[in-house]
């Protein structure tokens, strides 16, 4: 009589690579499933912003620091697309799981708080960068956009998307309903993005606002990212890199701590 074979339990080492990769794939497939909403729509919105400013100039050639204004504007719009979509992906994924009650399916498997945090952030990072690349390709069809320092472009894109994904994850954990998440978007993310120098040079504002702009971490994302394209900067690049690394470390620890403690995740 043959013995009945049963599947053996999978041994989990220091890192649950299978679980981690599965959660990352789930996050990516989630936004690719509705790519018209998550990728195409943000690109169209960014192009509309660009078109409005182009029409507002009425063919007048204006420059900022010796660079044509539309060329100055393009990197900021690309960065806004990257960060807003990284934030939206992480926040919506966490909040929807909580509202639908299936967050337990993520918490029960042997995944550590570090693995959960990294998986959600990586999902937001991938979506943000994907939207950024598509937006860049679309804008490049209408305005010549040089690439002077590709290392700065890559670093600032990854750092910014990571920070906004972490912020979205924290917001998604904290929020109990979609109204709470909308408040974070409307009163935190959007004001910081619009006051970061995306549409104007910080050098052109009064000294008081100039000081306040340098307290805004979004300013350093835009400034360094723009420098990578056109070589124009309003701040100190080294300071910006330190600010971004510090902000990511602080938010990363906060998100990890909330998940490790089960804050608003476990009954």
DSSP string, 72-118: HHHHHHHHHHHHHHHHHHHHHHHHHHHHHTTTHHHHSSS--HHHHHH
**Cβ contact 27:93 at 8 Å:** yes
Give the span between the Cα atoms of 38 and 47, in whole angstroms. Answer: 15
pLDDT bracket for residue 1 (50, 70, 90): very low
**Cβ contact 169:121 at 8 Å:** yes
Domain range summary for the chain, segments of one domain joined by +: 22-56+73-261
| Least confident interval from 133-137, 196-200, 236-240 | 196-200
Inform me whether the pLDDT recorded for 156 exceeds 90. Answer: yes
Q: What is the pLDDT at residue 260?
A: 95
Q: What is the pLDDT at residue 5?
A: 62
Question: 68 in helix, strand or coil?
Answer: strand
pLDDT bracket for residue 180 (50, 70, 90): very high
Q: What is the pLDDT at residue 12?
A: 65
Give the span between the Cα atoms of 17 and 25, in whole angstroms. Answer: 12
User: Which of 229, 208, 207, 211 is CA-nearest to residue 219?
Assistant: 211
| Least confident interval from 29-43, 52-66, 93-107 | 52-66
């Amino acid at each position: 009589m043959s013995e009945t074979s049963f599947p053996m339990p999978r041994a989990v080492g220091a890192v649950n690579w299978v679980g981690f990769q599965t959660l990352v794939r789930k996050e990516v497939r989630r936004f690719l499933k509705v790519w018209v909403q998550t990728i195409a729509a943000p690109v169209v919105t960014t192009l509309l912003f660009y078109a409005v400013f182009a029409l507002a100039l009425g063919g007048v050639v204006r420059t900022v620091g010796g660079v044509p204004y539309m060329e100055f504007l393009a990197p900021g719009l690309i960065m806004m697309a990257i960060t807003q979509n990284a934030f939206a992906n992480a926040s919506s994924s966490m909040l929807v799981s909580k509202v639908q009650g299936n967050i337990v399916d993520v918490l029960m498997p042997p995944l550590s708080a570090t693995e959960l945090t990294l998986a959600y952030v990586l999902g937001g990072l991938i979506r943000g960068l994907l939207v950024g690349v598509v937006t860049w390709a679309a804008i490049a069809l209408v305005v010549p956009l040089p690439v002077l320092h590709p290392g700065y472009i890559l670093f600032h894109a990854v750092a910014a998307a990571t920070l906004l994904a972490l912020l979205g994850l924290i917001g998604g954990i904290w929020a109990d309903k979609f109204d709470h998440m909308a408040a974070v978007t409307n009163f935190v993310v959007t004001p910081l993005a619009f006051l970061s120098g995306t549409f104007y040079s910080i050098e052109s504002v009064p000294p008081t606002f100039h000081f306040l702009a340098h307290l805004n971490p979004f300013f350093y994302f835009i400034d360094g990212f723009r420098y990578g394209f056109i070589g124009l900067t309003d701040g100190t690049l080294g300071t910006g890199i330190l600010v971004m690394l510090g902000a990511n470390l602080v938010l990363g620890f906060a998100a990890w701590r909330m998940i490790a403690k089960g804050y608003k995740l476990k009954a």
